[in-house]
Amino acid sequence: MSSLAQQKTSLRVNARRLLNGKPVRRSNAFKEESWRVLRIMSELVDGFEMMSRIGPAVTVFGSARTRAGNKNYQLARTISYKLAKARYAIITGGGPGIMEAANRGANEAGGLSVGLNIELPEEQQVNPYVNMPIGFRYFFVRKIMFIKYASAAIIMPGGLGTLDECFELMTLIQTEKILPFPVILVGRSYWQGLVDWMQNTMVKQGNLDRKEMKIFKVLDDPDQVVREVKKQAKTIRRRTENF
């Protein structure tokens, strides 16, 4: 049995003992958690080392289920192509759908196409348009890399994962845990219902301030998106001191 398999077995044994009200073998538990901390630290250091080289970049979020013939696939591809031509690296999760479209656009423009892949039980393959793949075991470490090295974030239509990434990013800006940068929701027909609900329910009931609605913009045209990113880039710079 490999050392990793032994660690997993030990963790399961200790978890069962806790659930059954039995004492945990503290020396083993402490050892396992210590190794876990070291693995996390190692993944952070490796990520920082590689991502610090990429220069100005834009992170693109969106559905993994979007197919190549879909209009949103083509839109993400076009936006990323134009951003890469403007010398921005494109960062995605490295998978299919919108991620593939964004990496494809950047690759076709001759730009840097970064894919932050995640280890899953059913292995997610890095799409063929990534020219700088980086693998992660931990979702939260991967999320740091999405945001820490970005000059802007493009939110394409997506599902629960996209909403998670979108609202976490907005929360970090709202709470001043990171310095603000452009957050652009692309596709008014897709996002307007959510924006209206935020305005008419969250703001109206006092759970969101009106000024916090300015954290993001909703745009449709690829050229508008690129102009917004470039305009903001004149007043802010990529802040690697975030986190």
Query: What are the residue boundaries of the structural domains of the chain, listed by start?
Result: 7-46, 55-233
| Separation between Cα atoms, residue 64 and residue 78, nearest integer Å | 17
Give tens-digit pLDDT for 141-179: 999 999 999 999 999 999 999 999 999 999 999 999 999
Tell me the H-state helices in the chain.
3-19, 26-51, 71-85, 98-108, 139-148, 160-174, 188-197, 222-233
Distances (CA, A) of 175 to 148, 167, 203: 16, 12, 17
CATH code for the domain defined by 55-233: 3.40.50.450
Does 67 have pLDDT greater than 90?
yes
Higher pLDDT, 34 or 205: 205
Mean predicted confidence (pLDDT) in 118-147: 90
Q: Which two tokens stand for residue 20?
A: 């059954």
Per-residue pLDDT at 231: 86
Nearest CA to 87 out of 61, 67, 112 is that of: 112
CB atoms within 10 A of CB 142: 20
Share of the chain above pLDDT 70, in %: 81
Q: Which of 6-20, 42-56, 180-194 has the lowest mean pLDDT?
A: 6-20
Per-residue pLDDT at 124: 72
Does 206 have pLDDT greater than 60?
yes
Average pLDDT along the chain: 88
Mean predicted confidence (pLDDT) in 133-146: 95
Nearest CA to 117 out of 100, 108, 101, 105 is that of: 100
Q: Which two tokens stand for residue 130?
A: 């990534």
The helix, strand and coil proportions of the chain, stated in percent and rounded to the nearest 5, come to: 55, 15, 35
Per-residue pLDDT at 39: 87
